[in-house]
Amino acid sequence: MTIFLILAPYGVYTLLMFLTSATISVFAASAICLATIAIDIARGRSVKILAVGSAVLFAGIGLYLALVDPGLSALGVKLSVDIGIFIISLGSMLARRPFTLQYAIETVPAETAAMPGFLAANYIITAAWTGAALLMMAANIVLLYFPGLPVWLGLAVAFAARNSAIYFTKWYPEYRQIKYGAPHGALPEAQ
């Protein structure tokens, strides 16, 4: 359920980019981010860096499209979103609060969160998501500079990068448990 709530704004944004305007797509994604924030607050959870950052990112792009440049290409919008995600993810690590840590702390016992490798594992998982965002950015940049390339190439890279990050998020805690003998649930699991 957690992974669904985290990725819901991005899934809706991607789907709506095929069905409607970029402006509607990013504003809808921002609204979903705000809804996930409200769900967290209603459940007594912390407000997440990724949710807030994404809400601001999508709203900012939407305002830019609505007020400054409504003619920005779909590829330009996708690149803007990818750059924003990359900055949020990398920024959370540079701020010494990898964005996965907030989700992980809420899904494991306090003694597990206090384990020495717990923070390092979250840096590694957040780095995987940062790498995925970087790959998506690179694919969109390539498509911008080589417009003759098929659009599906960018979609394939985005799909592979995102799904690889999801798989890694699920796999890595299990790997650490086996390798280091950490108790079950010692690291966050994608739910």
pLDDT digits (tens, 9 = 90+) for 28-60: 999 999 999 999 999 999 999 999 999 999 999
The answer to whether residue 185 sits within a structural domain is no
53-94 confidence digits (pLDDT tens): 999 999 999 999 999 999 999 999 999 999 999 999 999 999
| Cα–Cα dist 84/80, whole Å | 6
Range of the domain at 17: 2-180
The answer to whether residue 190 sits within a structural domain is no
Number of domains in the chain: 1
Q: State the chain's mean pLDDT as an integer.
A: 88
The answer to whether residue 146 sits within a structural domain is yes
The answer to whether residue 191 sits within a structural domain is no
SS (H, E, C) 24-77: HHHHHHHHHHHHHHHHHHHCCCCCCHHHHHHHHHHHHHHHHHHHCCCCCCHHHH
The whole model's pTM is what? 0.86
| Cα–Cα dist 74/95, whole Å | 31
pLDDT > 80? residue 3? no
Q: Give residue 179's pLDDT.
A: 77
The answer to whether residue 170 sits within a structural domain is yes
The answer to whether residue 26 sits within a structural domain is yes
The answer to whether residue 27 sits within a structural domain is yes
> Residue 184's pLDDT band (boundaries 50, 70, 90)?
very low
